[in-house]
Amino acid sequence: MKAIHTHAVGGRTTDLSVYVNGKFLPQSEAKVSVFDHGLLYGDGVFEGIRAYNGRVFKLERHMDRLFHSAKAIDLKIPHTKGEFANIVLETCRHNDIKEGYIRPIITRGPGDLGLDPRKCKSGPSIVVIAQPSINLLGKVYERGLKVVTSSYRRVPPQSLSPSIKSLNYLNNIMAKVEANQYGADEALMLDIHGYVSEASAENVFIVRNHTIVTPFTSTNLPGVTRETVLELAPSLGLEAKEQFFTLYDVWASDEAFITGSAAEVAPVVEVDGRTIGDGKPGPTTKKIMKAFRDLVMSTGTPI
């Protein structure tokens, strides 16, 4: 039997309460139709959001990105951004979230076995999951990540914009499978021109002479953590640049790290068997990790 994730509320253990199409249901009863085009075709969008210290970090920014993704695939959300933000907060309250991970999902809804979105007559399925905090990489933060470059290229914007946070993550999953096969913590993906794009689910930064560099978002997801790190840089005495760079630049960098809502800021100490810096999380990365932690613990929308 599969274990159900439970969490303690006031000393008792309870099923997570999941928002599904206007109702809060116990996790074991939270379901969508097998005819939902989110399942059948990956036709839908989602967000990954974090709560810290009883507040949701950058909730409005995540709502902006969710609605932008939906608009890009012509999926109409039957709520305003403000209404949807309130659903997120209410789901957090139902699960007594202080530190947590929140996953809003909007699919095209149930239809038939054809892929035409017009067949999804009943409208989108809306799901919000809020669970106590995840520790995605565990002790890896202390030792640093070992990364390999994937042979799978990131889907180019000419085919599908990587800025859309869609339910179809197979391109990223193939890279992650490859990283697992090589015994690495994460995969680095290049774009079709051979420039660094992103990791399987995180943005990538390198550090050179007190300058932090990350690729333009045309070939990767415009990450909220990525954006936050760029905003924090000047106050830490760091120059921040967006520019395309190659694997050579990663191998020759002083430091490297990845960013994402789930991963936060995680140091990279090895890429393709090459040691980055001195093989330990670097001083600039550690400085950014601390500044990020201070920021998330002190700001956000109160639950």
Q: Which residues are catalytic?
A: 165
- The answer to whether the beta carbons of residues 127 and 23 sit under 8 Å apart is no
User: What is each CA distance from 14 to 93, 129, 296, in whole angstroms?
Assistant: 14, 14, 27
How wide is the angle at C-alpha 43 spanned by C-alphas 42 and 47, nearest 5°? 85
Cβ neighbors of 199 (< 8 A, separation 6 or more) are 147, 186, 187, 188, 189, 258, 260
SS3 57: coil
Residue with tokens 């040691």: 275
Q: Is the dihedral of CA 90, 25, 164, 108 positive or negative?
A: negative
- Polymer length of the chain: 303
- What distance in Å separates the CA atoms of residue 290 and residue 284, rounded to the nearest whole number? 10
